[in-house]
Amino acid sequence: MDANKRTALIYDFDGTLARGNLQETSFIPKIGMTKEEFWGEVKQRTREHDADEILVYMHLMLEKAREKGVQVTVEDLQSHGQEAPLFSGLADKSWFERINAHAAERGLALEHYTVSSGIHEMIEGCAIRDAFHQVFASKFIYSKGVAAWPGVGINYTTKTQYLFRINKGVDNHWDNESINSYVPELERPIPFDRMIFLGDGDTDIPTMKMLTYKGGHSVAVYDPTKTKRDIDKVHKLISDGRVDFVAPADYSENGQIDIIVKGIIGRIARQHGYRPKA
């Protein structure tokens, strides 16, 4: 009997698995700012310096922390991640167990990945970290154990490269030789048509669109507590042909995401030879 086929369920993190941005939960209050003040200054500096917004927010985190005497180590950032306000169905990891079992019954070996513009170290500290095969996220470089400068900044366009890293089995940020080397489609560990991406915002649109174009599947999720304008913006992704489905961010059993993802897994399994018993 053939081994189960590797399949990837890929998530953005902030706004997709957790409500809001992880920095807002405890880090930004600790440096004495409101989230509106912090992100407002990020926007202003990004325009002033014609800079990348992700690198600007990471630099601002370190700058404001130094001004307030707030230590920024791996352990400190992980502790902020422990307070991640996860959406329903995630904290007890039942979502991952349930969806893995559903895939395995259909001949698929499901692997979970995060591709996020958020902070890697914070995600590493969250309660569901061990459910992921790999976390790709923005991260710092450290000098004498303290965060010194941004090492990786993942923005809305660079997110797309991580689909190719997953596709080719490159589980790091640095190996550009492997990611750029030619590998025949049939020899790649996880083909695009066995990928599902879940995201919530503007930074996910290129990834969703590219994956859909490549034969994969995209689902836009939204926080139902957001304003009607925010929700309408996500719904527009379907009418614009950028995603296949839209659902509220609730990962409980028999919820909309549960039904949608199980349906997509069933479709992938059938495309790769699975036939349900009569």
In the DSSP assignment, the letter for residue 44 is H
Number of H helices, E strands in the chain: 12, 7
| Whether the predicted pLDDT of 211 surpasses 60 | yes
Q: In terms of pLDDT, which residue wins out, 248 or 238? A: 248
| pLDDT at position 186 | 87
Split at pLDDT 50, 70, 90, the class of 236 is confident
Residue 191: both structure tokens together? 């083909």
153 has pLDDT over 80: yes
Comparing 58-67, 164-173, 215-224, 250-259, the range with the smallest average pLDDT is: 215-224
Say which DSSP state 20 is in.
S
Q: Taking a C-beta distance cutoff of 8 angstroms, is the pair 208, 187 a contact? A: no
Q: Give mean pLDDT, residues 177-190.
A: 92
| 146 within some domain | yes
For every residue of 77-102, DSSP letters joined together read HHHHHTT--BPTT-TTSHHHHHHHHH
Number of domains making up the chain: 1
Q: Is residue 217 part of a domain?
A: yes
- Calculate mean pLDDT across residues 34-38: 96
pLDDT category of residue 159 using cuts at 50, 70 and 90: very high
Say yes or no to pLDDT of 232 above 90: no
Is residue 61 included in any domain, yes or no? no
Tens-digit pLDDT profile for residues 86-112 = 999 999 999 999 999 999 999 999 999
Mean pLDDT for the chain?
92
Whether 180 is in a domain gets the answer: yes
Residues in the chain, overall count: 278
> Residue 1: what pLDDT?
36
Distance CA 33, CA 22 (A): 14
Q: What is the pLDDT of residue 200?
A: 87
Residue 2 is predicted with a pLDDT of 59
- The H-or-E segment that residue 108 falls in is strand 108-119
Q: How many CB atoms lie within 10 A of CB 213?
A: 12
Q: What is the CATH number of the domain that holds 113?
A: 3.40.50.1000
Domain contains 24? no
Domain that holds residue 244: 5-18+87-271
Helix runs in 105-252, H state only: 120-124, 159-168, 176-180, 205-213, 228-239
Residue 60 lies in a domain: no
Q: Does residue 157 sit within a domain?
A: yes
Whole-number Å distance between alpha carbons of 179 and 161: 9
Q: How does pLDDT run across 55-64, given as a tens digit for each residue? A: 999 999 999 9
* Domain-located, residue 68: no
